[in-house]
Amino acid sequence: MNKNRREFFKNAGMTGAALLTVSGIDHVAQGQTVTPQLFPHRILGTGKNAFEVSALGFGVMGMSYNRGIHPDKPALIKLLRQAVDRGVTLFDTAEIYGPFVNEQLAGEALSQFKNKISVTTKFGHEIINRKGTGKQNSRPENIRKVAEESLKRLKIEVIDLFYQHRFDPNVSIEDVAGTVKELIKEGKVKHFGLCEVSAQTIRRAHAVQPVTAIQSEYHLMHRDVEKEILPVCEELGIGFVPYSPLNRGFLGGDITEYTKFDSGNDNRNTLPRFTPEAIRANLRIVEELHQFGRTRGITAAQVALAWLLAQKSWIVPIPGTTKLSHLEENLHAAEIAFSPEELRKIETAVSKKEIVGDRYPAEQQKQVGH
């Protein structure tokens, strides 16, 4: 066993990663043969509903939606394939991202790896004339329609994990779970997930169709899920996928009060936590991450991701990026382990700072937590 391999096994053991497999896929990218990499795996869900994935996934959304300017399509496709080469097996998208174009991008870049990696997607936003209306639509016929269309856009035969994106007040969660259960029986979907729902909704859905993963916002600046959601996941054997694990890039430390968010394609300029005043105040939190990381030779983003990974062995964050350097930086977080004292230290330092600005504007906040 060479030194790198030994180091990797040692570090993966330290992170409590559930499994460690050779997950990188040997393929020819841009004319170069890439050597498979070792990357720790984790398991979302339990029993028949278990879903094994890389310990860190890749959030595809920001490559074309809500995160401003981005590289051109060939560069994005190359980066997604570089993530596969580095052992990422979980890629996350949704019908609403674009709409449609983000799923198309994932399909074009990743369908050649089907059965080796997974692209998860989501249904439930109402889309009319290729535009999200801001309303929900989880009626059974719409869930079925989205499944068929997503399969085509992703160029796959089965969706490994299909999430309801937002709770629909007009459709009972039992009907939603029942429809996904039928899609599973028909072989079009493998696993069921929900986003930003209450513990009560998780229990009701799980009684009809066991849930494999809850995907909700979770990071050092938003820890609400620790109260009820993580305990219910633990009790029912459901995995957890923190979205926006870097608080939409903020915890990475590149954003300042002078950062301009593209008004056409970046929702951060609508979020109260991203006004110049809120950013200026909240940078005190990022400085704590920098301070903590400096003495350990790691970056603020790595502190944020390693902290999430340390919370539970069934947590799989899905950071998004448009840069190879950030991808590699983020993946290294899976090699970092903190002692209980270190975890307490960073949590105490962050909790002493007031967080300025809500995470969502009032209208979007009304759609979560049901």
Ligand X SMILES: NC(=O)c1ccc[n+]([C@@H]2O[C@H](COP(=O)([O-])OP(=O)(O)OC[C@H]3O[C@@H](n4cnc5c(N)ncnc54)[C@H](OP(=O)(O)O)[C@@H]3O)[C@@H](O)[C@H]2O)c1
Using the minimum distance from each CB to ligand X, give the nearer residue, 27 or 222. Answer: 222
The bridge status of strand 51-54 relative to strand 58-59 is: unpaired
- State in angstroms the smallest separation of the CB of 322 from ligand X: 3
Beta strands in the chain (DSSP E): 19-22, 28-29, 32-33, 38-44, 51-54, 58-59, 90-92, 118-123, 125-128, 131-136, 159-164, 189-195, 213-217, 239-243
The pair of structure tokens assigned to 348 is 């105490």
- State in angstroms the smallest separation of the CB of 217 from ligand X: 7
- Active site positions, annotated: 97
| Alpha helical stretches, state H, 209-275 | 229-236
Scanning residues 91 to 130, which ones bind ligand X (CB under 6 A)? 92
- State in angstroms the smallest separation of the CB of 124 from ligand X: 10
With contacts defined by CB under 6 A, name the span among 46-54, 202-210, 224-232, 318-326 that binds ligand X.
318-326
With contacts defined by CB under 6 A, name the span among 43-51, 152-160, 200-208, 315-323 that binds ligand X.
315-323
Residue among 41, 42, 67, 273 that touches ligand X (CB under 6 A): 67
Torsion of CA 206, 212, 217, 223, to 10 degrees: 70
Residue among 326, 335, 346, 350 that touches ligand X (CB under 6 A): 326
Query: By the 8 A CB rule, do 119 and 93 touch?
Result: yes
Residue among 323, 344, 352, 366 that touches ligand X (CB under 6 A): 323
Residue that is written with structure tokens 């980066």 in the block: 79
The pair of structure tokens assigned to 208 is 């009809």
Examine residue 293 and tell whether it contacts ligand X (CB under 6 A). Answer: no
> What track of x and - describes contact with ligand X for positions 245 through 264 (by CB under 6 A)?
xxxxx--x-x----------
- State in angstroms the smallest separation of the CB of 268 from ligand X: 8
SS3 143: helix
Q: What are phi and psi of 28, to 5 degrees?
A: -95, 110
Count residues contacting ligand X (CB under 6 A)? 29
Using the minimum distance from each CB to ligand X, give the nearer residue, 64 or 179. Answer: 64
268: number of Cβ within 10 Å: 19
Residue among 40, 45, 62, 87 that touches ligand X (CB under 6 A): 62
> What track of x and - describes contact with ligand X for positions 217 through 246 (by CB under 6 A)?
--------------------------xxxx
Burial class (CB in 10 A: 0-12, 13-18, 19+), 32: exposed
Using the minimum distance from each CB to ligand X, give the nearer residue, 153 or 165. Answer: 165
Residue that is written with structure tokens 């350990």 in the block: 296
Chain residues in the site for ligand X (CB under 6 A): 59-62, 67, 92, 165, 195-196, 215, 243-249, 252, 254, 301, 318-323, 326, 329-330
